[in-house]
Amino acid sequence: MSYVAWMLLIILGALFVKSVSYMQKKRLHLRSYVVLLLLRDDVREDHKQKFADFVRNTEAENAMHLLSTAESAIEKLADQYALNAETSSVLRANVLVWNLKKGEITPK
C-alpha cells in the first residue's frame, strides 16, 4: 500500500512542477510582450488596431465572455511572439531594455 502512496505522491509532485513551469513560461511571454508594446510604438499601434478589430468582430454573449476571449487571444499572441525565432519577444525585450539603459533608444 505504501508503494501506491509514494507513486501517487511522485505523480502529484511531477504535475505540480510541470504546472509551475507552464505558468512561469506564460508570465515570461506576457511580460516580454508588454515590454515590446511599451518600447516599440510601431508594434503597439499595429496591435492596438488589430485588437480593436478583433473585439469588434468577436461574437460574445456578454462582456465577461468577450473579455475572456480577448485575454485568451492576447496570451496566444504573446506565446507566438515569444516562440517565433525571428520575432522572439523575449530576446527583443532584453535588447530593447538594454538599449534603453545605454541611451541608444528613447521612448516617444
pTM over 0.85: no
Q: What is the pLDDT of residues 47-79, one digit of tens each?
A: 999 999 999 999 999 999 999 999 999 999 999
**Residue 93 phi, psi (nearest 5):** -65, -40
pLDDT at 86: 74
| Beta-carbon contacts of residue 58 (< 8 Å; ≥ 6 apart) | 66, 69, 70
Which pLDDT band, with edges at 50, 70 and 90, does 1 fall under? low
**Average pLDDT along the chain:** 91
Which pLDDT band, with edges at 50, 70 and 90, does 98 fall under? very high
pLDDT at 54: 95
Residue 16 pLDDT more than 90? yes
